[in-house]
Structure 1
Amino acid sequence: SFFFFLGEDAVEVQVWFDEYQARWIREQEWPEHYNIDELEQGELTLTFKTAGLEGVKMWVMKYGSHAEVLAPPELRAEVVDELRGALGRYEEGRR
C-alpha cells in the first residue's frame, strides 16, 4: 500500500475529489501526514507524501471521474495514459 511508503524518494501528491466522493474520503481514517483541504461546493483535496506512485495511480483510478490527480505532474501523466488506453479499449473493443 502506498499509504505508508515514505523515504527519500517520497514526493507530494495532491488529489482532488468531487462532492460525491469527498464525503467518503472524509469518513476514512488517514495517517497523520495526510491533509484534507475543504473546497467550495463540498469538494476537497487530499495531500500527502509517498514514494508509492504506482499504488496511488491504481487507487485514484478506481474513483473514475470523481477524482483528479493535481500533483505531481508525472503521476498525472501516467493516469492520463492509462485512461486513454482504457478509452481506446472501450471505443475499439477487443479484436
Structure 2
Amino acid sequence: MLTKRSDGSTDVEFRLTAFEETLGWSLSFGLHAEILDPPFLRGESAEFLRGTLNDYEQSRSPRFFGRSGDPAQSRRSTK
C-alpha cells in the first residue's frame, strides 16, 4: 500500500518473507528511504550503517581495490 504524506514523501507498506533481501533493497535507496517497521529490521539496518560508518572513520583500506588499498593503483596498467 502507498500512502502519500503532506511533506511530499511516501510510505510504502507490504508483507515480507525475505528480510535479508529487503534490507539490501531498502539500503540501495540510501538517504531516500527509512525502515520504520518491523523494529528488528530497522535495528539491523542501523547496525549495518553504523558498521559502514565505523569503517570510514577508522580509515580502513577500501575492500574492493588492489592489495595496497590504493584505488589509483588498481586502475594502473601492469605492462
Q: TM-score range by the shorter chain?
A: 0.7 to 0.9
Mapped to 1, the partners of 2:5 and 2:21 lie a distance apart of 25
| Higher strand residue share | 1
CA RMSD of aligned residues (A): 1.0
Q: CA deviation at 1:41?
A: 2.0
Aligned residues, how many? 61
- Does residue 45 (structure 1) correspond to residue 11 (structure 2)? The answer is yes
Among 37, 47, 54, the alignment partner of 1:71 is: 37
Q: TM-score, normalised by structure 1?
A: 0.61
Question: Deviation above 4 Å: which 4+ runs of structure 1?
Answer: none
Give the structure with higher Rg (CA): 2
In the TM superposition, what is the alpha-carbon distance from 1:63 to its structure 2 partner? Answer: 1.1
Gapped regions of structure 2 (runs ≥ 5): 62-79
- TM-score, normalization: structure 2? 0.73
Question: What amino acid is the match of 2:47?
Answer: D
User: 1:41 & 1:80 partners in 2: Cα distance?
Assistant: 24
Relative contact order: is structure 1 or structure 2 higher (C-alpha 8 Å, sep ≥ 6)? Answer: 1
Q: Secondary structure of 1:45's partner?
A: strand
Identity of aligned residues (%): 34
Report the AA paired with residue 81 of structure 1: E
